[in-house]
Amino acid sequence: MLAPLTFTLVVVLSALALYAIYLTVRGRQIDNTMLYLAGAAEAAIVIQLIFGIAMAGNADSHMSKALFIAYLVGLIFVLPVAGFWAVAERESRWGTGVLLVATLGLLVMVARLLQLWNGNG
């Protein structure tokens, strides 16, 4: 995995999580800033998928390539599903809460990807 790309993904997901916390606590609905952050995160996830699959052959020999690619593919679906769910809940504060939970889950999945890449699991 490319370290700068992974760092960028973690920064964007962290910014999205912090903004989701802010909106959820304030009881506000999803706004354009949140959608832009989610779009940037999704773009970074797609780029990570492309580079991750391309670089899987160069990974540690102990890495489970199938599991690594499954995590990469799984990352792509989290934000769109959470986004549709959040839009359905946009009349309440829990639309932003759904995106918060999804973003925290993505951060955990990225941490797991790093473990797999380094041959730790």
User: C-alpha 18: how far from its chain's center?
Assistant: 13
pTM given for the model: 0.90
What pLDDT shows up at residue 45?
Answer: 95
Region for residue 59 given its phi and psi (left: phi exceeds 0; alpha: psi -120 to 50; beta: otherwise): beta
The pLDDT, as a whole number, for residue 43 is 96
The amino acid at residue 90 is: R
E strand map for the chain = none
CA-CA distances (angstroms) from residue 102 to 8, 23, 65, 113? 18, 15, 24, 16
How much is the pLDDT for 121? 62
The predicted pLDDT at position 14 comes to 97
How high is the pLDDT of residue 91?
A: 81
Query: What domains can you pick out in the chain, each with its CATH number?
Result: 2-118 (1.20.120)
pLDDT along the chain (121 residues), means of 10: 89 96 91 93 95 85 86 95 90 88 96 85 62
CA atoms within 13 A on the CB side of 12: 23
Dmax over Cα atoms in the chain, in whole Å? Answer: 49
Residue 50: burial class (beta carbons within 10 Å; 0-12, 13-18, 19+): exposed
How high is the pLDDT of residue 39?
Answer: 95
84: number of Cβ within 10 Å: 11
